[in-house]
Amino acid sequence: MALSPVIGKLLHKRVVLASASPRRREILSQAGLRFEVVPSRFKETLDKASFPAPYAYAMETAKQKALEVAARMYQKDLRAPDVVIGADTIVTVGGLILEKPVDKQDAYRMLSMLNGKEHSVFTGVAIIHCCSKGGQLDTDVCQFHEETTVRFSRLSEELLWEYIDSGEPMDKAGGYGIQALGGMLVEYVRGDFLNVVGFPLNHFCKKLVELYYPPGRHDVRRVKHDSIPAVDTFEDLSDVEGGGSDPAGGIEGGPGGQAAAGTRGAEANGAVESPPPFPADLLELIDGFKASKALFTACKLKVFDVLKDEAPLKAAEVAGRIDASVCGTGRLLDACVALGLLEKTDGGYRNTEVASRHLASDGEYSLHGLVTRHDDHAWELFTRLEVAVRQGPNAVAGGKVEDPAQSQQTTLQFMRAMHGLSKLTARRVATAFDLSRFTSACDLGGCTGALAHELAHEYPRMRVTVFDLPDVLEHVACFQPGGRPSERISFVPGDFFKDSLPEAELYVLSRILHDWPDDQVHALLGRLSGRCKPGGGVLVAEETVDEDPAAARSNLAAALSLLVRPRGRGRSGAEYRDLLEQHGFRDVRVAAAAGGALHLLLGTRASPP
């Protein structure tokens, strides 16, 4: 039984799983998919260093696995399957990619790296549609990846070896099987569990929905099957019945051109023209700004704070607490229910878990500051997007001139926004690479010290200096856990363009460089490189504007923000790597964090020639 109707779209196709993994076979067959298994012969030897991020490596390997099977099957009997699915699972820790261990020692090496730490598991998936064009195999590749975060407990050597001796690690990425004995090593999992096991079923189904957006059933039924010309193309993937790549196969009808083909056929037969698929996603996008504004307003009026303290409350009670009209408050609360931020019961409204955790103004992972900053600042900047697009980046420079009386408030607001964002990603930034060789670090522009705290927590030998402008450091006390910083963290006021940089083995630039134009980035890296001793390091964390289509959605906000901001510029991961190399940093290692939204680079200062 296929619970996801979209799986049914594949039931009439010849589907091949290009994998020897028994887990993938089990996950897909339990989802109701019917397929053949043809293990790929592709050797997993792609050059990892040539990929901008680990997930890109996993996606490419998955694609090559699937393409190898499609080509081999086509060569054998000149009839490729309709769909070939390939996947590749990797584990990343400390900037390294771990695959399946080659022997017990290798398994021990991997498990020791994971011991007591958080790591990421990426599965790259390729869904390849095949067809025959002019006697040649033609393929249409759809790729995606999924990231899951896993943390291991701290485990004794004895336990590690006992686990290795069980034999379980040997055919598993990272040397453990979370679904079996390896589950005992795991403290927590954030994200899709099946992704760790080897196949992100949920994301796969969503991709299929994108590919096979179902046409209105009635429309399809009106079409006489035998009157439609056979279509030998994969351009439109939504079919009604029959295999795709067999030239004598059945009809196809679906989104875009495919639906059009079906419609033309129907018209020729006197059937009624069918409307296009309902563009629900597009309409949601068109209205997206209203959703953001409802969220901003509810945050600003502290609706989530009120409902965190007391709930459920009726609209009139909330209106009383936030000093607003009953009618307006009721509308806003209902909008928040529709957006999944509140729940409505007979007793009244209450926060969802996400709202309490992230939208109330207190709490460790509050994003209230970020929301307020977006409402007061980003919203206005984005009204000038059209100008920025027409005239190019920096055309909207200047923007609102800030009232000096308000600048303290603005600084605090900025700090709250950055603090919320940093708290969410700091652990991932601190643990993406093994930084234990550094005993001192300096976080340039480290603001409230959120990342400094994670570094100090993760590396017990490390002392961390937060270097930031005096105006910023004036307010840091209210962001320290328990009201004071840890003993190993110090705050030093200064301007990284002018003042002498504190001495450190590792310099950290987290979300700093995008804010500056090239000449200032060179000036800063030049100063930093001059201060950093050979063997010392630089850690950069940035949102990038890479052109990888898989990351396009998460890049979008960063790319557009950089267009409307008064200074700075978006850069790709490769540009950041070049910049570090130009300033004497070598062996630049790359990792991704926060679901690929953050690009991390660790470079080592080479000895001057």
Ligand X SMILES: O=c1[nH]cc([C@@H]2O[C@H](COP(=O)(O)OP(=O)(O)OP(=O)(O)O)[C@@H](O)[C@H]2O)c(=O)[nH]1
User: Which residues lie near ligand X (CB under 6 A)?
Assistant: 19-21, 23-24, 39-40, 44, 65, 87-89, 100, 171-173, 176-179, 182, 196-198
Task: Please enumerate in sequence order all residues whose Cβ is within 8 A of that of 349, keeping only pairs 6 or more positions apart, or say none.
Answer: 307, 311, 312, 313, 314, 315, 318, 333, 336, 337, 342, 343
In 78-136, which residue ranges form alpha helices assigned H by DSSP?
104-114
Going from the C-alpha of 449 to that of each of 296, 413, 416, 476, 481, the distances in angstroms are 26, 16, 12, 8, 10
Choice between 100 and 599, CB closer to ligand X: 100
Question: What tokens appear for 267 in the block?
Answer: 């018209």
| 106 part of the active site | no
Choice between 24 and 358, CB closer to ligand X: 24
* Least separation in angstroms between CB 212 and ligand X: 24
Going from the C-alpha of 356 to that of each of 43, 305, 366, 420, the distances in angstroms are 48, 8, 8, 14
Choice between 43 and 293, CB closer to ligand X: 43
Whole-angstrom distance, CA of residue 51 vs CA of residue 32: 34
Catalytic-role residue among 88, 219, 305, 468: 88
* Least separation in angstroms between CB 177 and ligand X: 4
* Least separation in angstroms between CB 73 and ligand X: 15
Count Cβ atoms below 10 Å from residue 1 Cβ, excluding itself: 6
Helix and strand counts by DSSP (H, E) for the chain? 24, 16
Choice between 162 and 273, CB closer to ligand X: 162
* Least separation in angstroms between CB 140 and ligand X: 21
Task: Please enumerate in sequence order all residues whose Cβ is within 8 A of that of 575, keeping only pairs 6 or more positions apart, or say none.
Answer: none
Choice between 100 and 569, CB closer to ligand X: 100
* Least separation in angstroms between CB 167 and ligand X: 13
Q: Measuring CA to CA, which residue among 485, 502, 480, 481 is closest to residue 493?
A: 502
Choice between 207 and 321, CB closer to ligand X: 207
Question: What tokens appear for 357 in the block?
Answer: 């955790």
Task: Please enumerate in sequence order all residues whose Cβ is within 8 A of that of 39, keeping only pairs 6 or more positions apart, or say none.
Answer: 18, 19, 20, 69
Going from the C-alpha of 295 to that of each of 333, 357, 398, 503, the distances in angstroms are 10, 14, 27, 43
- On the question of a cis peptide bond just before residue 312, with omega within 30 degrees of 0, the verdict is yes
* Least separation in angstroms between CB 110 and ligand X: 11
Chain center to CA of 603:
23
104: left (phi over 0), alpha (psi -120 to 50) or beta: alpha
* Least separation in angstroms between CB 245 and ligand X: 22
Long-range contacts of 405-410 (CB under 8 A, 24+ apart): 408/471
Per-position b or e across 121-137, b if 16+ CB within 10 A of its CB: bbbbbbbbbbbbeeeeb
Residue nearest to ligand X (CB): 198
The answer to whether the beta carbons of residues 177 and 168 sit under 8 Å apart is yes
* Least separation in angstroms between CB 143 and ligand X: 14
Choice between 172 and 308, CB closer to ligand X: 172
Choice between 89 and 238, CB closer to ligand X: 89
Q: Which residues are catalytic?
A: 88
